[in-house]
Amino acid sequence: MDSLFISIDYLGTIALAITGASIAAKIRMDLFGLGFLAFITAVGGGTMRDIILNQPVFWTLNPVYIYIIVLVTPLVFLIRSKIERITKILFFIDTLGLGFYAIVGTQKSLILGFNYPVAILMGITSGVLGGIIRSLFSQEVSILYKKELYATVAACASSLYLVLKIYDVNEFLAVIITLLVSSLARYMAVKYKITLPST
């Protein structure tokens, strides 16, 4: 991946690591617990994506991802008493992380020559699977059971980015448009309690 997507990948790692560590802080885990949830939230989706695509797992090739998580964890630990007061900021960071990883998963699949449906599925996997795994180790309700449009937003982000790529929109512009639309979509869905039909 070129420098733009490496930067997006790092930003996504930062965002989701903050989200994971913050969830751990809310349920009063110790420093190790914060690091563990930060790790699985940040790299869980990308790890599964690479396994499915039969590629070397990204964070085993580049230690920067580990360094990011090691740096983020103590910072969140230091502000753990203020976590409840910055919920809106954390929501924004989590939304950006979702968009970043949806883009990276889609782009990586396209670079490797996979078809469009696979690219979208890998975008979704990259964006949401870390959060699903995180839920298994914390007390939060899994995003699979929440009515919030989380995975749906990831699917929309991946699909929108793919369409922009098909129409040869400038890479940077495609990323910005995708992040803006996906962030707005999630915000509106939460604000107006927009959900998909359920049983």
DSSP states along 48-85? HHHHHTT---HHHH-THHHHHHHHHHHHHHHTGGGGGG
Angle CA 9–146–137, to nearest 5: 65
Please give the chain's pLDDT, 199 residues, in tens.
Answer: 578 889 999 999 999 999 999 999 999 999 999 999 999 999 999 999 999 999 999 999 999 999 999 999 999 999 999 988 999 999 999 999 999 999 999 999 999 999 999 999 999 999 999 999 999 899 887 777 776 789 999 999 999 999 999 999 999 999 999 999 999 999 999 888 888 887 6
Cα separation, 137 vs 2, in Å, equals 34
Which residues are CB-contacts of 91 (< 8 A; sequence separation ≥ 6)?
190
CA distances for 16 relative to 49, 68, 112, angstroms:
16, 11, 24
Task: State the pLDDT at residue 125.
Answer: 97
Note whether 11 and 88 are within 8 A (CB).
Answer: no
Task: State CA 47 to chain mean position distance.
Answer: 12
Cα separation, 126 vs 103, in Å, equals 9
